[in-house]
Amino acid sequence: MVNCGSKGSDVRGQPRILISNDDGIAAPGIAVLQRVARQLSDDVWVVAPEQEQSGASHSLTTRRPLRLHQLDERRFAVDGTPTDCVLLALKRLLRDHPPDLVLSGINAGSNVGEDLTYSGTVAAAMEATLLGIPAIALSQAYIDGHGIPWGTGEAVAPEMIRRLLQRQWPESTLFNINFPAVPPGTSVTIAVTSQGRRAIADNLTDGVDPRGRPYYWIGPAPEHGKAEPGTDVAAVADDMISITPINLNLTNLPVLNELRDMFEA
């Protein structure tokens, strides 16, 4: 049993920050996020999946045991999902001194609109939120063939996080931040957005494997049409930083009231 949450390992007076992601422990974006977190605290911990888990959503590994591999004093890999990582970090590794903040990312590619329901990046922040720890998901948009402009998000993330930490953290809520696909150094504005929707076309590629059997490969969803203004989808398309408050209570309140009239009246 690893337990690094004991006294002596904490850095006094500094917020404890836990970092996870869904691109895996070796992904470049998690190194960027570590640099961001180190601007806010010296007490930064990383618990991330051994393998890429993009599209894992909020899945939990229950049919086999999980292993926590220590790579460094405060850096661990888990052979599981982003949700597994946050769960193990909060319930075992850091249980005696839980983090004040969980950061997830920085994901290679935006997480907007419907992505929120597929994203392992957002799911790590969801898990932290469910367990009562403030959490932020961060993603960096990029254009295929142009590299990932990590410096764009890295330049503004520390100050955005600092400002979010200054306010009372809302209950059951995480913040989803997306940085636009513009070169580092570009001046970017922040848009406060709602979760949008995209007009998603068929994203299945059909092929035939070397043994002659058909296969289907899910690719990035081709988009068409214009995004609704005020949404995360529109903001990132317009080269703005998007920040969306995401509520983990999924109840549709107007419909709940309609149902009461229908079934309870």
Number of residue whose CB is nearest Mn ion: 54
User: Which region, judged by CB under 5 A, interacts with Mn ion, from 18-26, 67-75, 159-167, 218-226?
Assistant: 18-26
Residues between 102 and 141 that touch Mn ion (CB under 5 A) = 107
Residues between 165 and 224 that touch Mn ion (CB under 5 A) = none
User: Which region, judged by CB under 5 A, interacts with Mn ion, from 14-22, 63-71, 186-194, 210-218?
Assistant: 14-22
- Tell me how far, at minimum, the Cβ of 227 lies from Mn ion, in Å: 21
Residues between 54 and 73 that touch Mn ion (CB under 5 A) = 54
Among 22, 115, 127, 154, binds Mn ion (CB under 5 A): 22
User: Which region, judged by CB under 5 A, interacts with Mn ion, from 34-42, 50-58, 166-174, 211-219?
Assistant: 50-58
Q: Apex CA 135: angle with CA 21 and CA 54, to 5°?
A: 25
Site for Mn ion contains 43 (CB under 5 A):
no
Closest CB to Mn ion among 4 and 150? 150
For residue 227, CA distances in Å to 112, 122, 190, 203, 233 come to: 11, 21, 17, 18, 6
Closest CB to Mn ion among 54 and 231? 54
Most distant pair of Cα atoms in the chain: their distance = 62
CA-closest candidate to residue 81, choices 123, 46, 135: 123
- Tell me how far, at minimum, the Cβ of 56 lies from Mn ion, in Å: 9
Closest CB to Mn ion among 107 and 140? 107
Q: What is the token pair recorded at 20?
A: 């996870």
Distance CA 150, CA 235 (A): 18
Contacts of 232 (CB under 8 A, 6+ apart): 112, 113, 176, 178, 193, 194, 195, 196, 242, 244
**Which DSSP category does 244 fall into?**
E
- Tell me how far, at minimum, the Cβ of 216 lies from Mn ion, in Å: 21
- Tell me how far, at minimum, the Cβ of 12 lies from Mn ion, in Å: 34
Among 4, 23, 49, 232, binds Mn ion (CB under 5 A): 23
Radius of gyration of the chain (CA): 19
- Tell me how far, at minimum, the Cβ of 92 lies from Mn ion, in Å: 24
Alpha helices in 131-196 (DSSP H): 150-166
Contacts of 265 (CB under 8 A, 6+ apart): none
- Tell me how far, at minimum, the Cβ of 94 lies from Mn ion, in Å: 23
| Contact set with Mn ion (CB under 5 A) | 22-23, 54, 107
